[in-house]
Amino acid sequence: MAKSGLVLLALLPVLSAVLLTVSGHYGLALFLVCPLLLGYPAVRYTRPSTGLGAAGIGAAATAIPLLGAYALGLEGLICVLICSPLMIAFGALGGWVAFQNQRRGSRLPDAALLLLLPGGMAFDTTAQPPVYTVQTTIDIAAPPETVWRNVVSFGDLPEPTEWYFHTGLAYPTRTRIEGSGVGATRYCEFTTGPVVEPVEAWEEARLLRFRVTDTPAPMREWSPYAEVSPKHLHGYLVSKAGQFRLIPIAGNRTRLEGTSWYQHGLYPAEYWRLWSDAAIRRIHLRVLGHIRALAEADPRQPRVARASIDSGDTHPPVSADRNTASITAIFFTESSSGTGGGPPARIARENSSPWMVYWSHSTNSSTVLPPPNGSRPSSR
């Protein structure tokens, strides 16, 4: 292909990436295909002499548009840094593929690679977002009755000292509740706004279960501009429901289990799950640690042995016959109200259904979790 044709081939993924970002399609086409198509023509144009050099050129060809997205205010700094490892790796792959085709004299037309774009977009607009679960456990040196009072609601949390809460990630500051028992509404205040949590199960000193109907943005973006609010902050990471489970243990202590059910519409899903799981777990630790401090300082409970905290693990949703409880999917993910065929619209359609199917993807199985109201789920 002539060099002018290679320049046009390189411009197409750049324009496609801008359109995908503006339209809110954050999937395989944006994060995998576009970087591949950026790295390929860059190497065909420069014709490096080694495969390593080709990979470097492909990586650089992808890094430059990422910096441009930040400079133009399309994305914030943290989000650019998070997606960079994935996109730059595929840019390097595109460069390496171009080098191999060039060295071996492949007859595959360069323009044939453009067919990857509609294929990626077809997947992005039809894939069903999975729901994941994050669970964290803490042992508290106080009886369940004391812990319960601080689970239902609690006052101001201290300012965080952890570095990750100073990157723009939203974090909880206090919780209040209106009413008591089933039908009450719990409000968990975050730095970006309140999370609304209608209570669906209330078993004092044992179980608090609620769904999430409204949440603010998951973070504030870092940007040289006054405010940057890309579409993925609204409707792509969605809290589903939450529970607290209080388990009496030896020594008049309590084991408090917190589990978050959440969903996101970003692909490749497993890559983004690494980041969302990590963020949710940090929020769990902040909330559970505060509950422990309040309960153990309560003058109305006897002094017992000091408790411990477990960082928890990511688990598949539990089966219908297991009596579980957990903490809300506190990672702020906005309840979706999107339209069209993208992830927010698919999530909104699921939320409007009287049946909820929760899927947890593991290496060799998918598990169906009953919806928070206890009704039996239907199959997809």
The predicted pLDDT at position 320 comes to: 32
Give rounded-to-5 percent helix, strand, coil for the chain: 40, 20, 35
Is residue 340's pLDDT more than 90? Answer: no
For the chain, give the mean pLDDT: 79
User: What angle do helix axes 51-71 and 3-23 make, rounded to 10 degrees?
Assistant: 40
The whole-number pLDDT of residue 209 equals: 93
- Asked if residue 108 has pLDDT above 70, the reply is no
Predicted confidence at residue 343, as pLDDT, reads 53
Enclosing H/E stretch for 312: strand 309-314
Look-up of token digits 């199960």 = 201
Type of residue numbered 378:
S
Residue 367 belongs to what H/E stretch? strand 366-369
How confident is the model over 6-32, as a mean pLDDT?
82
> Quick one: average pLDDT of 181-202?
93
pLDDT of residue 352: 43
Between CA 340 and CA 62 the distance in angstroms is 29
pLDDT at residue 333, rounded to an integer? 37
- The pLDDT value given to residue 299: 78
Whether omega before 371 lies within 30 degrees of 0, making that bond cis, reads no
Query: Rounded mean pLDDT of 227-252?
Result: 89
Q: How far apart are CA 84 and CA 379, in angstroms?
A: 37
Is the pLDDT at 86 greater than 80? The verdict is yes
SS3 100: helix
**What pLDDT is attached to residue 317?**
40
In the three-class reduction of DSSP (H, G, I as helix; E, B as strand; rest coil), residue 171 is classed as: coil
Q: What angle do CA 211, 193, 359 make, to 5 degrees?
A: 35
Task: Identify residue 252 by its one-letter amino acid code.
Answer: N
Token pair 């002539």 in the structure block, residue: 2
Q: Are 114 and 12 in contact (CB under 8 A)?
A: yes
Q: Can you spell out the DSSP letters for 228-277?
A: ---GGGSSSEEEEEEEEEEEEETTTEEEEEEEEEEEE--SSHHHHHHHHH
More confident site: 154 or 338: 154
- How far apart are the C-alpha atoms of 229 and 192, rounded to whole Å? 12
Q: What pLDDT, on a 0 to 100 scale, did the predictor assign at position 231?
A: 85
pLDDT of residue 151: 94
Query: Over 70: is that where the pLDDT of 308 sits?
Result: no
| pLDDT band, very low/low/confident/very high, at 334 (cuts 50, 70, 90) | very low
User: pLDDT category, 188, cuts 50, 70, 90?
Assistant: very high
In this prediction, residue 306 carries a pLDDT of 53
Distance of alpha carbon 39 from alpha carbon 88, whole angstroms: 9
> For 63-90, what is the mean pLDDT?
93
Alpha-carbon dihedral 268, 269, 270, 275, rounded to 10 degrees: 100
- pLDDT tens for each residue of 245-297: 999 999 999 999 998 899 888 999 999 999 999 999 999 999 999 999 999 99
Average pLDDT over residues 127-155: 93
Of 184 and 17, more confident: 184
Give the pLDDT of residue 232. 87
Band the pLDDT of 329: cuts 50, 70, 90.
very low
Walk across the sheet containing 237-249 and list its strands: 172-178, 185-190, 193-203, 207-211, 237-249, 253-264, 131-140, 309-314
Task: List domains and CATH numbers for the chain.
Answer: 3-124 (no CATH), 131-369 (3.30.530.20)
Name the token pair of 174.
């206090």
Contact 257/366 with Cβ under 8 angstroms? no
Model confidence at 24, pLDDT cuts 50, 70, 90, reads confident
Q: How confident is the model over 314-332, as a mean pLDDT?
A: 36
Judged against a pLDDT cut of 70, whether residue 73 lies above it is answered with yes
373 vs 117, higher pLDDT = 117
Q: How far separated are the first and last CA of the chain, in Å rounded? A: 46
